[in-house]
Structure 1
Amino acid sequence: MDLDDELRKLFADDRLDVPVRPEADRVIVTGARRVRRRRAGVVFGGGMLSVATMLVAGTAFGVSGDAPQRTPLAAAESSGLTTTTTPPPSSTTTTDAPRTTVVPPPATTEEPTHTTATSTTTTSSSTPTKAKPPANPLAFGPTTVGPLRLGMTVDEAEATGLIQANSEPQNAAGCLGYDWAGHPAAGYHYSLVFSPKYGLVRIGGRTNAETPEGIYDGSSEDDVRAVYPDQSKPHIGHDEWVTPVPGNPSAHYWLTLRNHLVTDIRLELASQDCYQ
């Protein structure tokens, strides 16, 4: 008997038979189904974990430079915006978290414009623009200013009610200084001056003064020189112009200039002993 015959005899022995349970097929099928469900659950769970990981990464770092930006909760509340967060449903559908989108300004496609700066030198005129004449001018000259008259006494001038004594009424020459009533000036800054010998020798200090020739506070130096081309006498003040009064040879106009504009007009006696 060869080896093949021995093997056939061995496998044909009844002692090797294994009894089969009646429900064996049902048990095997149920087990196979359980294994398939477990494998499907593992695959599905891994996929969900991957999706969640991608969403978290995209939210934290942004998918690309064009992704909308998040506005912090404090910023949203301060701007009056209300953000409502809805919890995800229990189903397998994934819902993106609510976002507050900040729209960036549109990008311009215009080419940059190159400008060339031009330096402009502005030369200011030596003579500023003169002011307008006074609305209610007070005529200065040729001999009077309102009811005041050159040469009148202190008592006569006080009787008009237009003047009041200065806080330092007497100067070194013994002359008396006065202000306009209701408009006191600093000590020794007189609008009107009285000489014991010549009477009223100066009338000035009025912003609405205007000469018969049309010179007023705010007139330009050029206008002054054109109207009064002659100086009566040199004066130590380089911003003063002393000129004869047309129609009154015994009087002078004493014009004070600042920045080439008239700032004060005085009608004065040509001969007086109160100041130089």
Structure 2
Amino acid sequence: MDLDDELRRLFADDRLDVPVRQEAHRAVVTRAKRLRRRRRSRVVLGGGMLSVATMLLAGTAFGVGGDAPARQPMAAPETPALTSFTTEPPPTTTTVVPTSSVAPPVMATSTPVSTTTTTATTTSTSTTKPRPPAARLAFGPTAVGGLRLGMARDDAVASGLIQPNLTPVDAAGCQGYDWSGHANPPSHYSLLFSPKYGLVQIGGRADAETPEGVYDGASEADVRALYPDQAKPHVGGLEWVTPVPGNPNAHYWFVFADHMVADVRLELAVQDCYQ
């Protein structure tokens, strides 16, 4: 319901028995429209405040006759509250600042190119060898400590450096011995004596080192590099027999385990105790 209809309903109410002058209705409507134009930027109060404002406006527009009897003021009629409404607010101008969707250019920075060279590591088949023994026992080219190749058994026993093995005689009739204080299992000899050739094999020492620098723990590759010539092949490839530099009558016999030297032996090139 708009303002005109509300005013018509109000004026038609029988309780408003007040004589009005001619053109009062039009004056009220004109005045209301003028006020409406003036207040377009505000919200019109609803309900009771609008009713009070309307009654005040009507009082100024009504003309009361001079002969009309004075009447007691009548209580304001109970008018249902008008639905409050808001006028259309003035248009709001929004200033839009253009924003570029393109990211600002990034300054190019000079990044040094890595010149690191990666070198492929070749893994050797042999493990890291231990250091040479601190107290080295020179093996060769003809003797080991107080023992020498071809020495008679009795002379070697008299030196006090050796003791008989638990199985002193082998199948070939040669006599096996161990180093004094270091007994080996039966038939595992550190030294062998031939009845014909005397001392034919010296081995079984963890502190042994050849003049060329091979010792227990040296790699198989080092042995083959230092002693490239093989005197005679042996079964399984776990042994390397090679001529002794400086002694054509002797061989080095290297026993390998896990591609490292496990025993260094000095032997006569010609003997009859083993092959």
Please tell me the TM-score bracket, short chain as reference.
0.5 to 0.7
Partner secondary structure for residue 156 of structure 2: helix
Q: What does residue 218 of structure 2 align with?
A: 219
Q: Per-residue deviation at 1:188?
A: 0.3
Q: Per-residue deviation at 1:127?
A: 1.3
- Which amino acid is 1:143 matched to? T
CA deviation vs aligned residue, 1:68-112 (integer Å, no higher than 9, x gap) = xxxxxxxxxxxxxxxxxxxxxxxxxxxxxxxxxxxxxxxxxxxxx
Q: What does residue 251 of structure 1 align with?
A: 250
Q: What does residue 181 of structure 2 align with?
A: 182
Q: What does residue 198 of structure 1 align with?
A: 197
Q: Distance in 2 between matches of 1:191 and 1:181?
A: 11
- Which amino acid is 1:219 matched to? A
Q: Distance in 2 between matches of 1:154 and 1:241?
A: 27
Cα 1:123/1:226, change in 2 over 3 Å = closer
Partner secondary structure for residue 229 of structure 2: coil
- Which amino acid is 2:179 matched to? W
CA deviation vs aligned residue, 1:181-232 (integer Å, no higher than 9, x gap) = 0111100000000000000000000000000000000101111011000100
CA deviation vs aligned residue, 1:160-191 (integer Å, no higher than 9, x gap) = 10000000000010000000001111000000
- Which amino acid is 2:147 matched to? L
Q: Distance in 2 between matches of 1:235 and 1:131?
A: 26
- Which amino acid is 1:244 matched to? P
Q: Distance in 2 between matches of 1:247 and 1:180?
A: 26
- Which amino acid is 1:271 matched to? V
Partner secondary structure for residue 224 of structure 2: helix
**Structure-2-length-normalised TM-score:** 0.55
Q: For the pair shown, which has the larger CA radius of gyration, 1 or 2?
A: 2
Q: What does residue 234 of structure 2 align with?
A: 235
Q: What does residue 158 of structure 1 align with?
A: 157
- Which amino acid is 2:151 matched to? M
Partner secondary structure for residue 217 of structure 1: coil
Q: Distance in 1 between matches of 2:195 and 2:257?
A: 32
Q: What does residue 272 of structure 1 align with?
A: 271
Q: Distance in 2 between matches of 1:136 and 1:208?
A: 7
- Which amino acid is 1:151 matched to? G
Q: Per-residue deviation at 1:154?
A: 0.6
Correspondence list, 1:1-276, <5 A: 125-276=124-275
Q: Per-residue deviation at 1:123?
A: 9.2
Q: Per-residue deviation at 1:235?
A: 1.1
Partner secondary structure for residue 264 of structure 1: strand
Q: Per-residue deviation at 1:236?
A: 1.6
Q: What does residue 84 of structure 1 align with?
A: none
Q: Per-residue deviation at 1:125?
A: 3.9
Partner secondary structure for residue 235 of structure 2: coil
Q: Per-residue deviation at 1:124?
A: 6.0
Structure with more helix by fraction: 1
- Seq. identity, %: 68
Partner secondary structure for residue 224 of structure 1: helix
Partner secondary structure for residue 237 of structure 2: coil
**Structure-1-length-normalised TM-score:** 0.55
Cα 1:237/1:159, change in 2 over 3 Å = farther
Partner secondary structure for residue 226 of structure 1: helix
Which ranges of structure 1 fall in alignment gaps of 5 or more residues? 1-121
Q: Distance in 2 between matches of 1:237 and 1:135?
A: 32
Q: Distance in 2 between matches of 1:275 and 1:234?
A: 14
Q: Distance in 1 between matches of 2:136 and 2:198?
A: 25
